[in-house]
Chain A
Amino acid sequence: MDSTADPKGKRPLYQEDGLAYARAAAAAASATAADEAEAKPKPKPSSSSEEAKPEPEAEEMPPLVLVAEDGVEVRISRPAARMSHMLRLLMEDSCADGPIPAPNVHSDILDLVVQYCEKHGPYYDPEASERARNPFPPFPVELTPTVSSIKPVTYVDPDPHGLKDWDKDFISLDNSTLFEVILVKRILNLLDLSSTPQDLLDLGTTMVADMMRGKKPEEIREIFEIENDYTPEQEAELRKENAWAFED
């Protein structure tokens, strides 16, 4: 339960109209922001955060304050906040001055998400990320270009800022944390699931897919702690039904 007042008196579920809720809560909260900011405990120093609190550069744009379900505040700079559809809308509507509640999200997870946004925020290009996630054509027809140090003018560097390696390290989390991060990206997108940023969601789901690829069902169950609730007969029948998929 976050400590800001809950005007509607109910917790939003994932698919509910959380955006309106967040707006209303933010508007109400910003009215009493001054008092609450003083009364709040000192924000937890994000030890894992690589970015220092936004300083003189952001003088005209103070960072947004997100409040996790356990009451801990997490700061996110404005350029990084642009990566979230919901936060972007709030900033445009000027509802983002006070603390913004992020219900159902624990501060550890929120911290991770903010870390990701801070790293990717300055370079964020929605079109380029869309192209990278859904490359076209799906079956490439180009012959592999010869390795050359001459880059033609049409060359588009797929990873201009060397973020791939950082991403790989970032997403090596334990299963439970990984799933929570995936879920959070869903929450922060709320209404418009098809819009940006999908990158973290994509990164997380690719990680999960990589963990599943090439493994037998028994191994997958082991990794993800999935209960096998089939009877042996049911399982055998299922295997027979799609026998081709189980041939090794």
Chain B
Amino acid sequence: MGNYLTSTISAQEHDQHVHVRPARRLTNEKGRPIVRLEDLPEDVLHTVLSKLPAREVVRSSVLSRKWRSVWTTCIKLSFNDADVCSGRGGAKSEQGTQVFIDRVDAVLRRHRGRAVDQFEIKFIFESKLADHLDNWISFAMTAHTKNLAFDLAPPSNFLKHGDHYRFPFELLDREGASCLQRLQLCFVSFRPPPAQFVGFPNLRKLALHVLDTTNQDLDNILGSCCKLEWLSIVRCHLKDELKVTRPLSHLRYLRVMHCDITKIDFHAAELSTFVYKGSFIPVSLRHASKLEKAKIWFYDTTFQQAITSLLDGLPDVRNLTLQFSFQRLENRWVLNSPHMFSQLRHVQILLIATDEDADKILYLVSFLRVAPFIEKLEVHDLEEQEAKLNSLCMLWRMPLRYKG
């Protein structure tokens, strides 16, 4: 393969240009045949190309005749504004958006009619991109894309940036939507809501960032994802409850961060990990009897209020990391609650204790009354300096059941 003596170039072309290069070795010094890159099967070459930026993938067409069409059957396409637009000017210039659109269209044209497993776009949204994004969603539907990611978020100032991209639910057909397994959407809007939503029956992982929607619509959409295993919702300001009425029986991981919401309410019996960062709100994950790990960071509450609330919302958590940005330590604390953290084994408390509160830290451990099986308790005092950690760390083990 490839040796010029046996190449398939016709005699006429061969006369027109002469290859002047040493004959390629076919065997190495041990007498074993040498394997070259082009001897690898095409799907392996696709895997190699999928790890390269879009321009280099297209550039590979010029390596040799065999490579001319390898990239067009690639099943992973990823377009980043940095790789697609050249260094000078780039996405920030006036023509930058148009350039990006043209280049993505050029590549997609070569893929028409073929299946594309992974399709990713990262570009800062502006209104003239909307129609083209719609076309690209249609393309993803016909290409039976499994992993779709549209990251349209500006680097900062989300509020000032203008409208979000309206996700075209009407372009989703049943067949295409049921191929989707992973979906990431950033800076997208779900308004107006879909009239007839086909649902995402096979969606396993969903990441929503800077999403504009109402709680009702989000409830319906998330409820249609019955196989959902992994969910991340960041910076979605519903100003209402984040609630999913239908049980999500496969959900294992839930992350909600920096959202302006009033409550979290999920019916997720298999939930294993929960991560929350935001203001203090009631969290209701009562059905999550297998909740292995929870990491919660409340901005604006006291430890006592947080524990009272969590006792109600996550009673079966096993390992808990609780962090506070602002807190006051109370002198006395009476926790009257019928509930218990019956599975709680390991707790880490991360807080910033001022000097005047330093002596009140021990009152934190009053909550042990409601954690009869606890084995390990850590309290870390985070100083203002980031690099240095002044950890006021108390660790002790409580192997026996606490009676009291």
Of B19, B56, B62, the contact of A212 (CB 8 Å cutoff) = B56
Assess the B47–A205 pair: CB atoms within 8 A.
yes
Binds A, one of B33-41, B125-133, B220-228: B33-41
Assess the A230–B65 pair: CB atoms within 8 A.
yes
Residues of B within 8 A of A138 (CB): 78, 120, 147, 149, 151, 184
Q: Tell me whether A47 is interfacial, beta carbon within 8 Å.
A: no
Assess the B147–A147 pair: CB atoms within 8 A.
no
Q: A153-B320, A226-B2, A245-B59 are in contact. Are A179 and B64 (CB under 8 A)?
A: no
Residues of B within 8 A of A208 (CB): 37, 48
CA distance A128 to B319 in the complex (A): 20
Q: Tell me whether A48 is interfacial, beta carbon within 8 Å.
A: no
Assess the A139–B149 pair: CB atoms within 8 A.
yes
Assess the A226–B120 pair: CB atoms within 8 A.
no
Assess the B295–A224 pair: CB atoms within 8 A.
no
Q: Tell me whether B346 is interfacial, beta carbon within 8 Å.
A: yes
Q: Tell me whether B321 is interfacial, beta carbon within 8 Å.
A: yes
CA distance A146 to B52 in the complex (A): 29
CA distance A244 to B54 in the complex (A): 11
Assess the A153–B295 pair: CB atoms within 8 A.
yes
Q: A153-B295, A209-B52 are in contact. Are A229 and B9 (CB under 8 A)?
A: yes
Q: Tell me whether B273 is interfacial, beta carbon within 8 Å.
A: yes
Binds B, one of A3-11, A37-45, A53-61, A180-188: A180-188
Residues of B within 8 A of A214 (CB): 56
Q: Tell me whether B230 is interfacial, beta carbon within 8 Å.
A: yes
Q: A147-B386, A247-B86 are in contact. Are A141 and B62 (CB under 8 A)?
A: no
Residues of A within 8 A of B19 (CB): 227
Assess the B149–A137 pair: CB atoms within 8 A.
yes
Q: A141-B186, A226-B2, A245-B58 are in contact. Are A176 and B47 (CB under 8 A)?
A: no
List B299-354 residues whose CB lies under 8 Å from chain A: 319-321, 323, 346, 348, 350
Q: Tell me whether B205 is interfacial, beta carbon within 8 Å.
A: yes
Assess the B320–A179 pair: CB atoms within 8 A.
no
Q: How far is the CB of A49 from chain B (nearest CB, A)?
A: 19
Residues of B within 8 A of A94 (CB): none
Nearest A residue to B152, CB-CB: A139
Q: Tell me whether B13 is interfacial, beta carbon within 8 Å.
A: yes
Residues of A within 8 A of B51 (CB): 205-206, 209
CA distance A50 to B48 in the complex (A): 29
Q: Tell me whether B232 is interfacial, beta carbon within 8 Å.
A: yes
CA distance A180 to B36 in the complex (A): 9
Assess the A137–B64 pair: CB atoms within 8 A.
no
Assess the A14–B63 pair: CB atoms within 8 A.
no
Nearest A residue to B323, CB-CB: A152
CA distance A246 to B3 in the complex (A): 27
Residues of B within 8 A of A148 (CB): 382, 386, 389
Of A14, A139, A244, the contact of B41 (CB 8 Å cutoff) = A14
Q: Tell me whether A125 is interfacial, beta carbon within 8 Å.
A: no
Assess the A217–B36 pair: CB atoms within 8 A.
no
List A195-248 residues whose CB lies under 8 Å from chain B: 201-202, 205-206, 208-209, 212-214, 217, 220-221, 224-232, 235, 238-239, 242, 244-248
Q: How far is the CB of A215 from chain B (nearest CB, A)?
A: 8
CA distance A235 to B32 in the complex (A): 33
Assess the A182–B348 pair: CB atoms within 8 A.
no
Assess the A179–B36 pair: CB atoms within 8 A.
yes
Residues of B within 8 A of A183 (CB): 35, 39-41, 44
Residues of B within 8 A of A230 (CB): 62, 64-65
Assess the B48–A205 pair: CB atoms within 8 A.
yes
Assess the B28–A154 pair: CB atoms within 8 A.
no
Chain A positions within 8 Å of B, measured between CB atoms, are 14, 106, 108, 134, 136-139, 141-142, 146-150, 152-154, 175-176, 179-180, 182-183, 186, 193, 201-202, 205-206, 208-209, 212-214, 217, 220-221, 224-232, 235, 238-239, 242, 244-248
Q: A138-B147, A230-B64, A244-B99 are in contact. List 10 more A-B contacts (CB 8 A).
A: A14-B41, A141-B234, A176-B34, A186-B44, A209-B48, A212-B56, A213-B53, A226-B37, A238-B68, A248-B86
